[in-house]
Structure 1
């Protein structure tokens, strides 16, 4: 198990000093899901949601969230991101009334620290935006699970969820 690095000698939280680390290309990919009802599924599919294009707004929200992760996660470093993308995929089983949208966030940078938190934040914000835009058609939506699928670059090397 690795040593926790976010605490100073007094046991108080600190932001880790990454000034001595090499800049490398780093990527991270995260996933979450939103389970919804048939009415919400139909609204998104046919573009009839009164608030607009649900996926377009969620896409922008996810990108903005990745860019602003350091503003909401206290120990994250502000990063110059090279790229952020959000992808949506339907997982639908109409016979069993299962309507779910899968969200994938991919973030890339070249720097001294990784972008896992940015990818997780992007996926989460995009999912929350779907909830916000669709809550009038049903508040029983379920978000999650949210997870890191993989990351590349850095001292600890690559990671891929089994």
Structure 2
């Protein structure tokens, strides 16, 4: 296990100094899902939710979240986001309605974008929940997880599918 570097000499939290790290292209992809009712599925796909186009608004919220991650997660560095892509896929079975959300974030810098991808996916799902909660509050979000990350000193990571 690598040395944990988020503590200073006094044992207090600190933001890690990344000034000596190499600048490389770094990407991260995170996924989450939101399980919902058939009624919500129909309203989303038929653009009948009163607050607007759910997927468009959620997509913009996810992009904004990636750019603001360092504002809400204390030890995250503000980094120059070079790209954010959020994709949606419906998994509809006999009585199951699930929206899969994939967020891919890219930068060229000295620290990774895993937290930005995870935050982006999470906020996208929370926005879907917010826009649809008037129809039903029983929606379930998750699991949320890192699918892959590339670049940087620790190398690449690829999760075996959950």
Q: Which residue of 2 aligns with 1:53?
A: 53
- Residue 133 of structure 2: SS of its match in structure 1? helix
Report 1:10-159 matches (<5 A).
10-93=10-93, 95=94, 97-159=95-157
Question: Can you list the C-alpha shifts for 1:70-110, whole angstroms capped at 9, x where unaligned?
Answer: 000000000110000110000110x2x10000000000000
How big is the shift at 1:2?
1.5
Question: Can you list the C-alpha shifts for 1:106-151, whole angstroms capped at 9, x where unaligned?
Answer: 0000000000000000000000000000001100000000000000
1-structure distance, mates of 2:142, 2:4: 27
- Residue 68 of structure 1: SS of its match in structure 2? helix
Provide the TM-score with structure 1 as the length reference: 0.98
Provide the TM-score with structure 2 as the length reference: 0.98
RMSD: 0.5
Moved over 4 A (4+): none
- Residue 44 of structure 1: SS of its match in structure 2? helix
Question: Can you list the C-alpha shifts for 1:32-66, whole angstroms capped at 9, x where unaligned?
Answer: 00000111000111111000000000000000000
2-structure distance, mates of 1:4, 1:57: 38
